[in-house]
Amino acid sequence: MKSIPWQIKLAISILLLALVVWKFPVYEIVQHIKNAKIGWLILAFVFGELIILNQAFRWHYLLIVPKEQKPKFGSLLKYTAVGYLFNLFAPGGVGGDVYRSIALGKAHNVIASSVASVLVARILGLVALCLLFWIALPYSEHIPQQAIWFMAVGTSFLIIFCFCVIFNPFKKGKLGEFAEKLREYKKYPLRLVAAMFGSLFMQILGVLMQWSVFKAVDISVQWSLVFVVVPVTIMLTTIPISFNGIGVREWSLLSLTAYAVNSEQLLASVLLGYAVVILQAVQGSIFLHLPHDRIRV
pLDDT tens digits for 81-91? 988 888 776 65
- Render pLDDT for 106-137 as a digit per residue (tens, 0 to 9): 888 888 888 889 889 999 999 999 999 999 99
Nearest Cα neighbor of 222 from 259, 191, 250, 254 is 259
Radius of gyration, CA atoms only, the chain: 20
pLDDT grade for 58, boundaries at 50, 70 and 90: very high
pLDDT of the residue at 89: 65
What lies within 8 Å, CB to CB, of 166 at 6+ separation is: 182, 183, 185, 186
Q: Could you tell me if 243 and 5 are in contact, meaning their C-beta atoms sit under 8 angstroms apart?
A: no
CB 114 within 8 A of CB 63: yes
pLDDT above 60 for 143: yes
Which pLDDT belongs to residue 5? Answer: 65
* pLDDT above 70 as % of the chain: 89
Sign of CA dihedral 138, 139, 145, 148: negative
Confidence check: pLDDT of 77 > 50: yes
Residue 137: what pLDDT?
94
How many CB atoms sit inside 10 A of residue 69's CB? 11
pLDDT > 90? residue 233: yes
